[in-house]
Amino acid sequence: MEERVGSANDEHPDYLYPPPPPPDSADDTYIIQIPRDQIYRVPPPENAVIAQGYRKPVEQKSKGCRGRCKCICLCLIVTVALIVGIFLAKIYLFPSPKSPQFSIKKVLVKTPSSSSKNYSSPSYEISLKAENTNDKYKISYENGGGSKLSFKQHKIAEGKPPSFSQNENESNDVRVTLAGSKGTLPSEVAKSLNDTKAKTPVSLSLMINAPVKMKGLISTKDKDVTVTCDFKVNTLATGTKILSQECNSKL
């Protein structure tokens, strides 16, 4: 068996190239064979048109997605703006009502005559200043509720709160009349009532609970207001003066 010895030109074997024609051949046609890895193909123009047709739907889809994203973002912005606007309008037009403020101006003790069987149970007239501190609400104090005067949590008189109305930021002077409770008065209260010379001070507590209507721009709220005033007077006899007081109210 013969072995073929390679040469330096084995990279391009001779059998790939046809032998050149004889010198005296009349045929001027030559065949040149190029290795396959050196052939470069250029696609025809119609292929570029087809490829462009495939790319257009992708581009249109991308544009459609961007349009939807813009619409979604715009809807979110409008929704958030509406929510914030409604919230601010509610705060401005329908704020939470504030409790009215009260303070005691005067205390008058009416002691029955000595011939009366209820000599130990005087009545009281307490004048107060009521202030509506609301800018957006009128207050209407309705009939009902109750008021009581106490000494160290011992009730000594009771009555009904007055009914009246207040506009926004309006102040009024009101009066609460309390009838003396039946029974024996606490010794400190009795001493202050009878001691006209020494003027024995005494500390009392007034509590008022009244139904109210808070009338806003287009709404009305039914609530109960509770007022508590702890105060001290120089005497319950003639010439009663208020020495100190602290009033709190709550809706």
Q: Quick: pLDDT tens for 151-198.
A: 999 999 999 999 999 999 999 999 999 999 888 899 999 999 988 888
CA-to-CA distance for 226 and 207, rounded, in angstroms?
7
Both tokens of 206, joined, read 């007034």
Residue 5: per-residue pLDDT: 47
- The structure's pTM equals 0.64
Angle at 117 between CA 111 and CA 118, to 5 degrees: 40
Which residue numbers in the chain have pLDDT < 70?
A: 1-30, 34, 36-49, 51-65, 90-91, 93, 113-120
CA-to-CA distance for 138 and 136, rounded, in angstroms?
7
On whether the CB atoms of residues 201 and 234 are closer than 8 A, the answer is yes
CA-to-CA distance for 38 and 221, rounded, in angstroms?
93
Residue 99: per-residue pLDDT: 94
On whether the CB atoms of residues 192 and 137 are closer than 8 A, the answer is no
Both tokens of 229, joined, read 């005033």
Residue 65: per-residue pLDDT: 64
**Distance between first and last Cα of the chain:** 120
Residue (of 128, 69, 127) closest to 101 by Cα position: 128
Residue 13: per-residue pLDDT: 54
Domain ranges for the chain? 101-250
Residue 181: φ, ψ to 5°: -75, 155
Domain 101-250: CATH class, spelled out: mainly beta
On whether the CB atoms of residues 249 and 100 are closer than 8 A, the answer is yes
Angle at 32 between CA 26 and CA 38, to 5 degrees: 170
Which residue is it, tokens 């702890």? 230
